[in-house]
Amino acid sequence: MRAEVSEPVAQPSAATKPTPVIQIWNLHKSYGPLEVLKGIDLTAPKGHVISLIGSSGSGKSTLLRCCNLLEDSQDGEILFEGESVRWKGEGPRRQPADRAQVTRIRTNLSMVFQQFNLWAHMTILQNVMEAPVTVLGRDPKEVAEKARYYLAKVGIADKADNWPAQLSGGQQQRAAIARALCMEPRALLFDEPTSALDPELEQEVVKVIKALADEGRTMIIVTHDMKMAADCSDHVIFLHQGRIEEQGPPGELFANPKSERLRGFLSATA
């Protein structure tokens, strides 16, 4: 188990702590009349792993997509390395005011989805290289070297010249992780990275995520895997119906849940 954070995630004092990679204060998100997030606070310090757990429909994936500005929120603040996202409009009409800022933030927050989303007409190496070359404008020769390094890091260096259809689900997800790493982001965002895999292939991906956590990479992970959350996380947040029901270091949260809802959730997932 990783070293645990001894205090709850909260707004830090700039004078005493390094600037977190991601900060969210009082975030609200609705789809029409359905309010999905009801005032969420979250802080992801550099080098920390934050896991989001909770039942389906609790708002976990929506919160992650708001972090990466793939979803527009209706109220609240989002900061990336201390820089506030600039907004225009209010409520349902609120949207980012500076598209260049959004692009810059997104290129520094690589996301790994439940589905692998690899381009079928490209080899695995080409998939990993595509974003750094086309989005960041980096030299293809340098990117190819880094791409091979990250493919080796996730254990599929020998699959570089294969097509996605020639890989197992676990190998494709590891390729997706290598693709995210090749952008060399400030943080990695994982949205249920193992839920589409059978148990044997799931462990391949969990092993990679644990290794990244041990390296001290900043990550926010939406997961149904309580063991991975316990083993990898510095801080765990339990969401229920769009609110934070309980949060804390994994050793405390899993061993001594305080809320009845969390106790019921953990019992159901045991």
The yes-or-no verdict on residue 214 having pLDDT over 70 is: yes
Give me the amino acid identity at 75: D
- In 10 A of CB 63, how many CB atoms? 26
Q: Provide CB contacts within 8 A for 148, sequence distance 6+.
A: 125, 157, 160
Q: What is the pLDDT of residue 16?
A: 63
pLDDT in tens, 21-78: 999 999 999 999 999 999 999 999 999 999 999 999 999 999 999 999 999 999 999 9
The yes-or-no verdict on residue 13 having pLDDT over 70 is: no
From residue 132, how far is each of 2, 137, 164, 226 by CA, in Å? Answer: 31, 6, 19, 33
Tokens 């976990």 appear where?
60
Q: What is the pLDDT of residue 196?
A: 82
Classify residue 137 as left (phi > 0), alpha (psi -120 to 50) or beta. left
Q: What is the pLDDT of residue 18?
A: 87
pLDDT in tens, 114-165: 888 999 999 999 999 999 999 999 999 999 999 999 999 999 999 999 999 9
Distance of CA 243 to the CA centre of its chain: 18
Q: What is the CA radius of gyration of the chain?
A: 18
pTM here is: 0.91
The yes-or-no verdict on residue 12 having pLDDT over 60 is: no
- In 10 A of CB 193, how many CB atoms? 27
The yes-or-no verdict on residue 245 having pLDDT over 60 is: yes
The DSSP H or E segment spanning 77 is strand 75-80
Query: In the chain, what are the domain boundaries?
Result: 110-184
Q: What is the pLDDT of residue 204?
A: 92
CA-to-CA distance for 219 and 129, rounded, in angstroms?
22
The yes-or-no verdict on residue 9 having pLDDT over 50 is: no
The yes-or-no verdict on residue 6 having pLDDT over 70 is: no
pLDDT in tens, 71-108: 999 999 999 999 999 999 999 999 999 999 999 999 99
Tokens 């839920």 appear where?
195
